[in-house]
Amino acid sequence: MKKKQIRFVTLAIILLLLPTSNVLAKAKPKLSKTSITITKGKTYTLKVKNNKKKVKWSSKNRKIATVSSKGKVKAIKSGTTYVYAKIKGSKTLKCKVKVKNPITKPTSSSNTNNNFSISKIYSKLSMQQSQKLYAIFESGKSNETVKWESTNKEVATIDQSGLVKAKSIGTTIIIATYNNI
């Protein structure tokens, strides 16, 4: 019985002294993002995670987006393309890049006949938020017989008193009509 115990203890000690292999697999290189949306003229820097090797960056369509040697993506014009990160001696990673045009704010709130203007020409509202708009006439009166409407009622509605109510995320145009102008 003692011989069996000694063999078992000896075997256990030998097993403990054997070098252990690293059981955890090394993490594979990957991009910080696999898809991005950026506004024309803006930039976004991509990074390769879990990588110590040299990376060569390229763009499928340089007319839409360019990429620097450091992974800095610049949006050139509206459209969709891909940016590639070629890791030396390894695989190529890709990121879908969607470039959108910036939202432009109206420059004037007056209609073509200069009969009236709107109290607010650009506004951002959160969902369920509301804001009152006014039509201001040359005569100094406000909200004479103005007809209000929203071009996208799923995003925002407006009642005939000029009260805008935000319904969901998106963009809409509020139109004020006076005497069918």
Residue 121's pLDDT is 65
Instruction: Tell me the whole-structure pTM to 2 decimals.
Output: 0.49
User: 55-61: long-range contacts at Cβ-Cβ below 8 A with a sequence spacing of 24 or more?
Assistant: 55/85, 55/86, 55/87, 55/88, 56/85, 56/86, 56/88, 57/83, 57/84, 57/85, 57/86, 58/83, 58/84, 58/86, 59/83, 59/84, 59/97, 60/84
For 14-35, give one letter per residue: b (16+ CB within 10 A) or e: eeeeeeeeeeeeeeebebeeee
pLDDT above 50 for 120: yes
Residue 112's pLDDT is 41
pLDDT above 50 for 72: yes
Q: Averaging pLDDT over each range in 6-15, 154-163, 171-180, which range is the top one?
A: 154-163
Residue 47's pLDDT is 95
The tens digit of pLDDT for each residue in 27-60 reads 899 999 999 999 899 999 999 999 999 999 999 9
What's the mean per-residue pLDDT of the chain? 78
